[in-house]
Structure 1
């Protein structure tokens, strides 16, 4: 593959748009935010235990220890609650990945950077109940699909600029290809190992690290 002229790393990626999927009233005070957090946490638990079909605003309100009226103050329906749940999780994933970027003075080398981003994301996959249901909703809900696409693009941009920092002379097509592969491979393995609990988790994670390190080595030797 022909090499390209070394390019100056792009500007700091912006946080992907935080689309409030159907939220009726955004919280403006700490007390209101605490209620919204309780609603979302309760929804996550209910989705994990019973799936989307059994989910109702009544069940969410009871699990959150709030009245149904209070839930409706912030969310018009259960779908909007689940949408906000996914939206918040995507934002935390972006913050975790971008937080390992060398622009923050992390002191990590390239291979450590990649491993750190995966480990940060793994913790978030573990902490969020009901992810399989949230993922299944994305293709069917345009707002969720748009938010997910924006998130994916922001993750891609932060990986590109990180790789350009570590390997400024690497061909841009290689950098971009690897920046696409890292989150795709990580998501598939983390979903299988953590969300669906398929196979031996440690083996799957080891396979993931070997594959990602092999790809990263390509830009280091450019």
Structure 2
């Protein structure tokens, strides 16, 4: 194993973060590592991101960084998990405000706005999504969360008045999820009026998709 392999933590469980710290100071450092990783992702991308660069940006040694995470993949895994947790909280908010048989357009607009908020808040989101697609361990995490979201959306659709079987609801939910994700990523890369118009297009497409299967 080369020195570069050691510095990047190759050969270890790539997603095995150290035990999450309980003390306030250590917990703050844990979050700082994730925050600076997101900033660096935005600047240099996945391929040029290294634990050496992360440690240097935090003014700590690589050894100190390894007290929290054994390698770059583990850091990206934790960052991905944190972002997916934010999406889960957004789903909780959407679910909590959902009224049975709610107006479909009101639902799609609220759902789109709330999820877009999570995409916009995450620094380096374009590169993070790339990492979640290209790194197998992160892809497994993303796929598991997709299944979770699909089931949540399917249950929401039932509350909205969809009279379809479970498999069909889940199929529509997957299309709905993929639509929101793909266009949200596009919106993040846009600015001003262009972003606003694409957001309106996303809401229209989301509404059109669901209204096709809505029975009321």
TM bucket normalised to smaller? 0.7 to 0.9
Structure 2 residue 215 is matched with structure 1 residue 221? yes
What displacement does 1:168 show? Answer: 5.0
Closer, same or farther: CA 96–28 of 1 in aligned 2, 3 Å? same
Note if contact 2:83-2:122 (Cα within 8 Å) is conserved in structure 1. Answer: yes
Partner of 1:40: 34
Partner of 1:152: 146
Partner of 1:12: none
Deviates more, 1:113-122 or 1:203-212: 113-122
Secondary structure of 2:88's counterpart equals helix
Closer, same or farther: CA 81–209 of 1 in aligned 2, 3 Å? same
Partner of 2:45: 51
Note if contact 2:80-2:132 (Cα within 8 Å) is conserved in structure 1. Answer: no
Secondary structure of 2:66's counterpart equals helix
What displacement does 1:62 show? Answer: 3.2
Partner of 1:6: none
Determine the C-alpha separation between the residues in 2 that align with 1:111 and 1:64: 45
Which of residues 87, 106, 122 in structure 2 aligns to 1:128?
A: 122
Partner of 2:178: 184
What displacement does 1:77 show? Answer: 1.4
What displacement does 1:174 show? Answer: 4.6
Note if contact 1:163-1:175 (Cα within 8 Å) is conserved in structure 2. Answer: yes
What displacement does 1:209 show? Answer: 0.8
Structure 2 residue 174 is matched with structure 1 residue 162? no
Note if contact 1:22-1:76 (Cα within 8 Å) is conserved in structure 2. Answer: yes
Closer, same or farther: CA 168–204 of 1 in aligned 2, 3 Å? closer
Determine the C-alpha separation between the residues in 2 that align with 1:36 and 1:66: 13
Secondary structure of 2:159's counterpart equals helix
Partner of 2:7: none
Determine the C-alpha separation between the residues in 1 that align with 2:167 and 2:50: 47
Q: Which sections of structure 1, spanning at least 5 residues, go unmatched?
A: 1-19
What displacement does 1:23 show? Answer: 0.9
Q: How many residues align?
A: 200
What displacement does 1:190 show? Answer: 0.8
Partner of 2:62: 68
Note if contact 1:175-1:219 (Cα within 8 Å) is conserved in structure 2. Answer: no
When the two structures are superposed, what TM-score results if normalisation uses the length of structure 2?
Answer: 0.81
Partner of 2:190: 197
Alpha-carbon RMSD: 2.3
Structure 2 residue 93 is matched with structure 1 residue 99? yes
Secondary structure of 2:174's counterpart equals helix
Deviates more, 1:59-68 or 1:123-132: 59-68
Indicate the structure whose relative CO is greater, using CA pairs within 8 Å and at least 6 residues apart. 1
What displacement does 1:126 show? Answer: 1.3
